[in-house]
Chains A and B, each alone.
Chain A
Amino acid sequence: MRKRINFLWITAFLLCLALAVLSAGCGNKEAATTGDSKEQGDVFKVGVLTSLSGAEVYGGNITKRGYDTWADTVNQKGGIKVGDKQYKVQMFYADDQSDPASGADAVERMITKDKVDFILGPYTSGVTLAAAPICEKYKVPMITGSAESPMIWQQKFKYTFGTIPAVNLTASYPVNTLVSDIPGGAKTMAILAVNDAFSKAVAESFKATAEKLGVKVVKYDIVPAGTDFTPLLGAIKGLNPDVVAVGGHEKEHMEVIKSAKSLGFLPKAFLMHYGVTNPDFVKNLGKDAEAVYGASTWTSDLDIADALFESSKKFVETYKTKWGDEPDYTATGCTVAGEVFGAALEKLGAKPPLSESDREAMVTVLEDIKVDTLYGATSFAKEGDNYHNNTGLEGLTIQIQGGAVKIVGPKDKKLAEPIYPAPAWDKR
């Protein structure tokens, strides 16, 4: 009897599930027809592969916002101009579940089922590395507006491009500012980093630049994620370096500052990387975040002309009204990835749907393209270790001043004077 009841329950549940699936399926179809595409072949189909669930969902959503900002703006303005006609774009999203294997499945699906013309790529480097071979197989170009592991470019995937410069291209800028631009600049440095691909690459780049400039690296520690920084900083305090450089993400950056303050330790400068541009950094640390240095390729302070948004300021406005937050460099890199595709399509002059030879020709166009976007001059390397990565950009040295991110280097780009040494913890 009990089994029978169970069976009824299961059947009822499965029916509900089937109903839910069915209604959602219809919902999707409706959305597709009421959307921008009326006839097939009238739109560019764009695949968006990113982390919409799993460990990287926070970053994945930022990339999605960046890609959506591009698509919505393009469609508002009538679409991508090819010859004398404009074509709108239609987005196809796929969740990679923050897992390379799921990412590979997702990209196969977008290419073979949705028949996308090109792909806006993943948030993580791991998924990019798993998806890239499938793009090679079907000859579908992909631009990632986020992945930045140097390993991707060393593989020399013909169909994969990236708008964010690899960390090893940007981390040298703040070290240069601290050592060369500031009178009586830094002489000694301690480097601390978490053992993940991004953070380690940051630390390696800090170290290499420091040594090249004649700075003495007094400590170099790569530690597992989740390590307590207090004892490490205690040891560094004894060595009294001018600069404490940290490779990590937002969370670790905040922990380092908190631990240092609890030890009463303040080097002349803290140097970190992208994480300090995240609004949460200043929000959580308040005055303790003051005078921390970082590296970036872009901040919302910049005012750069742009073909689609008119200027980077206008882009920031659009993004803010849409999502409520300021765009960071990742969201911007994603929007620009879309813009670069747009520019390439205009140059190529191919109508949707793109044929295999169109897509092959697109790679050649992308390799030679040089677009001035709201991100700065964007172009891709054709050879070397940065193959198909954006090498058109220059890095920026940034510093938290008065609770805001300010550009303090390099010399020709600075919008504020660097503060060095940092004011004492209690004098802020």
Chain B
Amino acid sequence: MTKNNKALVGLLLAGIAMLMLPLVISSFWLRIVTGAIMWVGLAQSWNMLAGYMGYVSFGHGAFFGIGAYVTAILMAKGLPFIGALVLAALVTALFAAIIGQPTLRLQGAYFAIATWAFAEGIRQLVLVLPFTGGANGMRMEAFLNENFFYYSMLLVSAAAVAVTYFLFQKAVFGLRVRAIREEETASQALGLNTTAIKVKVFALSALFPGILGGVYAYWITYIHPESVLTPLIADQMVVMALLGGLGTIAGPIVGAMVLFLGNRILWVMFGDTSFYLVLLGLAIAIVILFLPDGIVSLFTRKKKTGEGISKENVRNITG
């Protein structure tokens, strides 16, 4: 109980600090933190799918791009930002649910390749469609309010973290998802409708990148297939989640913060040359080498985090 109270107080303080942040830091560092928070949301979304369900997607960047493009296209048609964003979120989740039907039947490397191919397909599609600006990309009217984008990203990423915690760590749904990760055939034998669960998780893990993509588009004001649909986005989600610790709630947060802020701090220090990229690569290599379970494994004793399956929960899982 006291441990829980402590955690709660810590969380509350962190929350207040995050809310007050724009008052104390410069507009430049606010931009950097906004970017870092966006990546926390992205890495956490990928973690829902890969960390909790064991399905490694290399195409998750596509949902970020879809969200960005749908928002940009709708805003160009005259919709206000919030309206466009809500629609973009719905479109992205729906899209994922449809894509998930065939791809989630695959497993392991086959699933990874299928999602990668899907993302590549979307990128080529955007390059040729008449209403996406093709290779020219799309530009949106600039709304130059750093605080607005900071709080928007914070809200979405905090929601992604909260969903991970309450749905995947605490709820029975999370147990079912983790049962699929541990042994899919056995969980089917237990009577779980694994297809339905998998599609739900896939759609949920696409929803947040979709929203973040929309906010990103409005923030940066210019999107292009090479900037929002590049395979690098999915790759970074993967690296951040792995760096921090896969299948844990803190892992993607730590991974995204370390990688993004590390990149930017080194960039500020060594910005004249690209030497800082070597340092960054070295840092990642060392972490992977010595901490294969991610940075958070330094602070936790349990190998796999999340609640153990108690007898009571075993009864719940199939119910």
| A interface with B by C-beta (< 8 Å) | 3, 6-7, 9-10, 13, 17, 20-21, 24-25, 28, 52-53, 55, 57, 93-95, 97, 99-102, 104-106, 108-109, 112-113, 126, 129-130, 133-134, 136-137, 149, 151, 155, 195-197, 199-200, 224
Contact = CB atoms under 8 A, between A and B. Distances in A.
B136 A197 contact: yes
A318 B31 CA distance: 40
Given A108-B28, A112-B26, 13 more contacts: A6-B298, A20-B279, A21-B269, A52-B272, A95-B267, A95-B272, A99-B227, A102-B267, A104-B220, A106-B271, A134-B144, A195-B135, A200-B134
B86 to A, nearest CB: 23
A201 B205 CA distance: 38
Nearest to A112: B28
5 shortest A-B CB distances, which residue pairs?
A: A133-B142, A53-B274, A129-B222, A197-B135, A137-B144
Contacts of A199: 135
Contacts of B131: none
B159 interface: no
B17 interface: no
A13 B135 CA distance: 43
A24 to B, nearest CB: 6
Contact of A112 (B27, B216, B266): B27
Contacts of A195: 127-128, 134-135
Nearest to A60: B274
B49 to A, nearest CB: 24
A363 B222 CA distance: 24
Contacts of B266: 21
Interface string B53-66: 00000000000000
A6 B220 contact: no
B222 A108 contact: no
Interface residues of B, number: 43
A53 B272 CA distance: 10
B308 to A, nearest CB: 21
Contact of A224 (B32, B127, B223, B227): B127
B33 to A, nearest CB: 11
A196 B24 CA distance: 42
B286 A126 contact: no
Contact of B274 (A57, A134, A149): A57
A55 B286 CA distance: 25
A104 B31 contact: yes
A6 B291 contact: yes
B221 A130 contact: yes
Given A17-B279, A52-B274, A129 B139 contact: yes
Contacts of A101: 35, 216, 220, 227
A408 to B, nearest CB: 30
Interface in B181-235: 216, 220-224, 226-227
A93 B28 contact: no
B268 interface: yes
Contacts of A134: 144
Contacts, number: 109
A9 B286 CA distance: 9
A15 to B, nearest CB: 13
A111 to B, nearest CB: 8
Given A6-B291, A93-B271, A126 B142 contact: no
B12 interface: no
Given A10-B290, A100-B220, A224-B124, A113 B28 contact: yes
B155 interface: no
B271 A10 contact: no
Contacts of B124: 224
A196 B135 CA distance: 5
Contacts of B35: 101, 105
Interface in B247-291: 264-274, 277, 279, 283, 286-287, 290-291
A42 B192 CA distance: 74
A267 to B, nearest CB: 26
Contacts of A112: 26-28
23 contacts: A7-B298, A9-B290, A21-B265, A21-B266, A21-B269, A24-B270, A25-B269, A93-B272, A97-B267, A100-B223, A105-B28, A105-B32, A105-B264, A108-B31, A109-B268, A112-B27, A126-B226, A130-B222, A133-B144, A134-B144, A149-B136, A151-B139, A224-B124
Contacts of A25: 269
Contacts of B22: none
A57 B273 CA distance: 11
- Tell which of A20, A93, A97, A130 has the most Cβ of chain B within 10 Å: A130
B137 interface: yes
Contact of A52 (B135, B144, B273): B273
A290 B187 CA distance: 69
A94 B35 CA distance: 17
Nearest to B286: A13
A133 B27 CA distance: 15
Given A112-B26, A133-B221, A94 B142 contact: no
A136 B221 CA distance: 13
Contact of B31 (A52, A55, A105, A200): A105
Contacts of B265: 21
A169 B35 CA distance: 37
Nearest to A6: B290
Nearest to B34: A105
A101 B223 CA distance: 9
A17 B282 CA distance: 10
A252 to B, nearest CB: 14
B39 to A, nearest CB: 11
Given A6-B298, A105-B35, A133-B142, A126 B227 contact: yes
B260 to A, nearest CB: 11
Contacts of B270: 24
